[in-house]
Structure 1
Amino acid sequence: MRFSASLAPFLVLGLAVLVDALGSSCSAPVTSGTAAPGDPFWMSQIAHQGSAPYAPGGSSYQVFRNVKDFGAKGDGVTDDTNAINAAISSGGRCGGGSCDQSSVTPATVYFPPGTYLVSSPVVSYYYTQLIGDAKNLPTIAATANFAGIAIIDSDPGWYVNQNNFYHTIRNFKLDTTRIPASSSGTGLHWQVSQATSLHNIIFQMSTASGNAHQGIWMENGSGGFMGDLVFNGGKFGMWVGNQQFTVRNITINNAATGVSLRSSDADVYMNWNWGWTFQGVTINNCQVGFDYNTGGTTQDQQGVGGESIIDAVVTNTPIFVRSLQPSNGSQHGVLVLNNIRLNNVPIAVGVNNGATLVAGGTKTIDSWVQGNVYKGTSASGSFVQASVSSISKAGSLLDSAGRIFGKGHPQYEGYAPSQFVSVKSQGAKGDGNTDDTAAIQAVFDKFSGCKIIYFDQGVYVVTGTITIPAGTQVVGEAWATILGTGSAFTDYNNPKPVIRAGTAGSTGVLEITDMIFSTRGPAAGAVVVEWNVHDPSGQQGAAGTWDTHIILGGRTGTNLQASQCPTSSVNSNSCFSAFMGLHITSSASAYLEGLWVWTADHDLDSGPQINIYTGRGIMSESQGPVWLVGTASEHNVMYQYYLVGAANHYMGLIQTETPYYQPNPVPGSGPNASWGLVVSSSSNILVFGAGLYSFFQNYNQNCLATFNCQQQNVNIDSSSSVAIYMLSTVSVEYMVSSLAMWTH
């Protein structure tokens, strides 16, 4: 849950395919897809056996929905609005104004190829994946008389924007070109929070002079990740405002404004934020690349807190970045530019009053910042608007072009249905009750490297460690859940993994998409995911997760909800949810995109705040490469992110919150609340954007008025080499400390 709070100061900170022994031998290993170009996308062809064991409809509840089964034609002529919305909403799902959050009614809504005309918004219900055919993107096109906020609306006013979790949209063309150019045609209203993502979407808008179209409109929320997006035409590619977001690999062509952070013509317009990171941006033939509102001095006028842009190519665009007003040393409007290549861009950084801060042309900006800069352990910083020495980036983190490596959500569009195996077809139940440990392990032992392993939607209870061998590809349906429980996971003096991803020292491909890993309490000894696998030489990002989350408590079936763990249950042993969320071990590499490690602060199914305990969030001892792209870790007792003896990490944007009950009990590891980020004896660590927040003391928010809900939040020891760009904190007295010793 998120709460508005005044902004603490910002700063820019610079400080000096192999299968392991458990894998099966395959007569026909899954090394490439066998589907012919004209074959249908596998998702439309496989058997759909997903179930939602806690849904009101019981066994009759339908998880997978093909919009054509609900009457949609996709013929470019028929108005398909009602049919699509029926496919989304049927079955007593959470939405419609009567429900603002729920964990029990997940759905995947599939769109075959075609052109689907809509005359009013397609409304995304809670816990919904909207997925188009990945081989032949379907188009959702607004009619000329379209009435409504956007072609797809993620929040029609039913949800609390900071709690609007679990929405995914991928593989679409969103077309507003039939809407008159002078009308406000919008592709997507995306007011969302964590566990949300956009992938592989083309926004097609009017290219007429003076048109009012926009690709994405977002006015609030607490996200989130989006990537692999293309915006063509329009007044704005993106008109956005949100506490924090990570954006990777976007292309904006022929727009007035690319990313708009305030109200004027721009490719991207940013209205307000606490911090956004853009990684991999291409802008062609626009008027303004990024336009942002530097705001005023009050909460309501705060505007843009910070924006980091890394690895951009901008061509034939008069202004790359423009702010509403000069920063003049304000805590607002932090700007970080790193590896920006300009081609015929007269003004690199300008102000709306006509001033030029950085001249453009055809050149490369290595590293330029606007904000408060601190170095070493000195408490004295200075406000700068200038080029700064670029930090070194480990070569293992970069692609062949010298940019931070990125990898989109695997969708296996070239694979045939016969190359998948369902865990339910192999005997796993996923009913939230049966012990599926043996059945699931048997599937991995038999089929890893031979088939893509498909977890039909369900809740799979396991009472022992599940080992996923290197060489495995896992696909979940609508965030299928593996739930660790039982005596194996109760002893915090002898912690054990629920999921072991690869064995120690193993090397190979290991891809996990659209899964949730969780526990049923008490589970004080559970390491929810232990990540051991390293990608093979020459295969960057071969070992990773996408749209996969570690969710602890706050959901039906976890026994860690309001009825068991109300806020009055201080330090109750029955409310221990895990020892640690994620442990990346020393020999591993990891590409983690859109990962949320959440110890629940409230009950998704009944609403009240709850009191549960996870000892630790994300710990990494890896020597790299590790990419944490659009990740968050929240409400863990001792720390959210801890790097110890680690090296070669890229982290952008990371987001944290302390537990709301602290300082009672005292965490024992920090001054009065859990650390957001601790770095110890580590090297070559690049944090490219961080939003680290503290909103409560003992469930009370009086501390917001005095900006001291937490004394310290980031600790970096003197032996580590770390660079942090755009650090944003809320209600933290000291943003960064340097303590020689720290006990975890």
Structure 2
Amino acid sequence: MKLLVSCLCVILSLAAHAHAYWYANIHHNGISPTIPNGDNWTVFRNVRDYGAKGDGVTDDTVAIQRAIDTGDASGSRASGKSFGMTGQPAVVYFPAGTYAVKSTVTNRVGTILLGDPTDRPTIKATADFSGTYLLVGHDPREPGGECCVPDGARCQGHTGVATPGQCTQLLYNDLEIEGGGVGIHLSVTQVHLKGISFKNVLTGVEIASAVHVTAQKMNFTGGSVGIDTTSGGCELLNLIDSSASNTSVLVKAPVASTAPTVQNSLVLENVIVDTTVASTVQAGQTTAFTGSTEPGTAWIHGHVYTNETSETQPLSAPAGKVVPVVRPATLVDKTGAYHTIVQPTYSEYNLSQVVNVKDVPEHPVKGDGLTDDAANIQAILDVSVDKIVYFPYGIYLLGDTVVVPPGSRLVGEAFTQLSATGSRFKDARHLRPMLQIGKPGDIGVAQLQDFVFTVNDALPGAVLVEVNMAGVQPGDVSFFFCNFRMAGARGSQLWKNCSDAKTCLAARLAAHLTTTSSSYWEHTWAWSADLDLDGASGSVLASPGGGFLIEATRGTWLLGLGVEHHVLYQVNINSAQNVFVGLMEAETSHWQGNGTALYPPSPWAADSTPLLNSDPDFKWCAPSSAQCRMGLYQIVRNSSDIFLYSQGWWTFIMGPARTFCSADCQDNGAWYEGNKRLFVFGLDTINVKNLVLEGTGPTSLAATVTHADNRGAVHDVFNTAIVAAYLKQV
């Protein structure tokens, strides 16, 4: 179970501009529609308005905490849970300055901490600082592990970012860490690290516990160790498109285990070191690998499946194996690295270039969770090309498709909700997108950030986001911190009316990336509710059909992707080309499995809810085989140039009774068929019997990669399987 709401987000820019940042000065009229008197809720909080000085001398701890904790007349955000997890949106804004704090600052659920990107602020511990952490990015009233920055009690010097609990993040992106003992300390299930530089840090990344980690575009300079996995708790690490200099050891790993389990698997691809790096990989006190892995090659330690090996026994490569990797030009930059971009802040725009959708008199938009805003939002988008369109926090009901035209830049606030509603999305035989990014053949810019896409009712004909557009450059069509949520929260009729999996057909698809599209995504969670976030009684048994359907051919990049609890599959890559997935996390529907009376593809196989041509029909399973008839985590069929890293699939709970798994309680993870140049670096599962099915059609599928052959260590009492690389369809 992963939540979309307990996150700490700090948005910074490397560039400085003379004019004031538009977001600080725009009309802030966001509301919280799901709580009493929510029209008066304060979303935007400038810490200066709460007494902070930012002069580097005054203790601003109390003022900053006040800005975070202020609720309304009914009470503080720090006490009780009357607002629910989704009813207390907040952006705490830091103008330029240095904010001195003498004790720990604690963030709250649903809160973004935002600095002025035109003149970045600093939060500084005073000389007499008291506490272990400067900033805690987890609301202690909510379940889950803490995520903190920095930690002054570890190693020699400070830790930049620490996850001392068992965190479940998807992505840390575009950070600069200088000095200290440890840059990032990880105790996680999974995480994607992207675009992080470490300068003069003793140990860049210390991994205490993780099933898998992707580290992409990392740069280590002037430290002792780049990444330390010697605790033995890191089951798989993908290090790609990275570099090191003046660093003694790039990856410090434990001695290879002689136990009959797969542990400490490692993939290095396009990793460049100079002659100052004595050991690229050091196992114990022994150098296991030196030099670089140039573009076009990968060095792999762990179990590797290729066409040269038996179908039932993996190749154990404790000394490492070098394999060729051919990346298509579409996916990479001139250095051979996968394209990445930094989330835009639009700090180059001035206030006159920004449109607040709630401040256009001729097209009134409410965002109140009651009014259908589709027509007026469409009218505003059509006349706001090449401007920033700002959506203050609210719930914007969309009773019809809204088309996002080329030249659009949409900015939400504290995860603004766009919610499908009404009869136009009810017919499962005629699918309709809520948000349509361009029309087939469109070329241009369409960038969205900080939204939640959701549904107001059971809408079996709804596709929440359909992407048709491609850009001139990678990232022209992009989504940053845009998440999906079906049921499980206030603001939807499904909040208290989603207890029957047969009827709670929340949506048909979360996202459809069509053949003509090219898009770039960072931190995306497509979550179908397995629990209630806001305190309604009863179980949540939502049954959306599929998660991400990817049929794009022109270049797709997904970094930090989580897809959970969809009936048929979580991700389906169908007849696609040129797809990069840096990390994927997934879970099946908790109502599936032993004890269920509803076997997939039901409830999506009736005349009124037909399957799509790309959907699995589960004909390889016996009619009432509960553990076989569970939503697949991943399908890749008839596709080419597909590059998948750190694919993690977790079956923690199964069946209507929500029984915790103590053994393999799902039969199958992925179905791979008819592909060319399919590179999978890192397949990790929890409680899944067969990692990969192969065959020439549903009735001929057979398991070729199994848990029994790839046993990993126990992680949080659950059984894991680890495969370093699957290369049987290259």
If the TM-score is normalised by the length of the shorter chain, which range does it land in? 0.7 to 0.9
Cα distance change on mapping 1:294 and 1:682 into 2, 3 Å: farther
- In 1: Cα distance, 2:563 partner to 2:301 partner: 27
- In 1: Cα distance, 2:458 partner to 2:124 partner: 49
Unpaired runs of 5+ residues, structure 2, are 4-14, 602-615, 619-627, 700-730
- In 1: Cα distance, 2:562 partner to 2:637 partner: 20
Amino acid corresponding to residue 355 of structure 1 in structure 2: T
Cα distance change on mapping 1:645 and 1:151 into 2, 3 Å: same
- In 1: Cα distance, 2:656 partner to 2:642 partner: 34
Equivalent residue for 2:530, pick from 570, 590, 601: 601
- Kept in 2: contact 1:685–1:722 (CA 8 A): yes
Partner of 1:712: 668
Aligned pair count reads 648
Equivalent residue for 1:475, pick from 402, 408, 411: 411
- Kept in 1: contact 2:269–2:293 (CA 8 A): no
Q: Does 1:421 align with 2:355?
A: yes
- In 1: Cα distance, 2:671 partner to 2:77 partner: 42
1:473-522 Cα shifts (integer Å, max 9, x gaps): 11111111111111101111111111111011111011001111111112
Pairwise CA distance, 1:472: 0.7
Amino acid corresponding to residue 403 of structure 2 in structure 1: T
Q: Does 1:461 align with 2:397?
A: yes
Q: What are the equivalent positions in structure 2 for 1:294-443 lying under 5 Å apart?
A: 295=232, 303-328=233-258, 330-343=261-274, 344-352=276-284, 354-360=285-291, 366-376=297-307, 378-384=311-317, 385-426=319-360, 427-443=364-380
Unpaired runs of 5+ residues, structure 1, are 4-34, 177-182, 187-209, 260-268, 296-302
Cα distance change on mapping 1:704 and 1:293 into 2, 3 Å: farther
Partner of 1:135: 118
Cα distance change on mapping 1:361 and 1:630 into 2, 3 Å: closer
Cα distance change on mapping 1:124 and 1:56 into 2, 3 Å: farther
Amino acid corresponding to residue 303 of structure 2 in structure 1: N
Partner of 2:720: none
Pairwise CA distance, 1:697: 2.4
- In 1: Cα distance, 2:65 partner to 2:370 partner: 32
- In 1: Cα distance, 2:461 partner to 2:526 partner: 17
Q: Alignment partner of 2:376: what SS?
A: helix
Partner of 1:152: 135
Partner of 1:98: 80
Tell me how large the CA RMSD over aligned residues is: 2.3
Pairwise CA distance, 1:661: 0.5
Pairwise CA distance, 1:362: 11
The alignment-based identity, stated in percent, is 31
Partner of 2:625: none
Equivalent residue for 2:191, pick from 245, 253, 267: 245
Partner of 1:282: 219
Q: Does 1:583 align with 2:512?
A: yes
Amino acid corresponding to residue 140 of structure 2 in structure 1: G
Amino acid corresponding to residue 93 of structure 2 in structure 1: Y
- In 2: Cα distance, 1:48 partner to 1:349 partner: 51
- Kept in 2: contact 1:294–1:327 (CA 8 A): no
Pairwise CA distance, 1:400: 1.9
Q: Does 1:626 align with 2:556?
A: yes
Higher mean C-alpha displacement, 600-609 vs 492-501:
600-609
- In 1: Cα distance, 2:667 partner to 2:407 partner: 45
Cα distance change on mapping 1:227 and 1:36 into 2, 3 Å: closer
Partner of 1:256: 202
Amino acid corresponding to residue 243 of structure 1 in structure 2: T
1:95-134 Cα shifts (integer Å, max 9, x gaps): 5363396111101111000000011122110001100001
Higher RCO structure, 1 or 2 (CA under 8 Å, sep 6+): 1
1:65-109 Cα shifts (integer Å, max 9, x gaps): 100000000011110001001101101588536339611110111
Q: What are the equivalent positions in structure 2 for 1:64-103 lying under 5 Å apart?
A: 64-92=44-72, 96=78, 98-99=80-81, 102-103=85-86
Amino acid corresponding to residue 634 of structure 2 in structure 1: L
Pairwise CA distance, 1:433: 0.3
Q: Does 1:123 align with 2:79?
A: no
- In 1: Cα distance, 2:672 partner to 2:482 partner: 28
Partner of 2:159: 214
Partner of 2:175: 229
Pairwise CA distance, 1:55: 2.8
- Kept in 2: contact 1:347–1:361 (CA 8 A): no
1:233-259 Cα shifts (integer Å, max 9, x gaps): 101011111001111100001111010
Equivalent residue for 2:646, pick from 666, 689, 695: 689
Equivalent residue for 1:659, pick from 589, 592, 599: 589
Pairwise CA distance, 1:564: 1.3
Equivalent residue for 1:615, pick from 545, 561, 571: 545
Partner of 1:528: 464
Amino acid corresponding to residue 134 of structure 2 in structure 1: I
Partner of 1:196: none
- In 2: Cα distance, 1:641 partner to 1:251 partner: 31
- Kept in 1: contact 2:133–2:152 (CA 8 A): no
- Kept in 2: contact 1:41–1:134 (CA 8 A): yes
- In 2: Cα distance, 1:75 partner to 1:650 partner: 45
Q: What are the equivalent positions in structure 2 for 1:30-45 lying under 5 Å apart?
A: 37-45=17-25
- In 2: Cα distance, 1:470 partner to 1:363 partner: 38
- In 1: Cα distance, 2:114 partner to 2:2 partner: 28
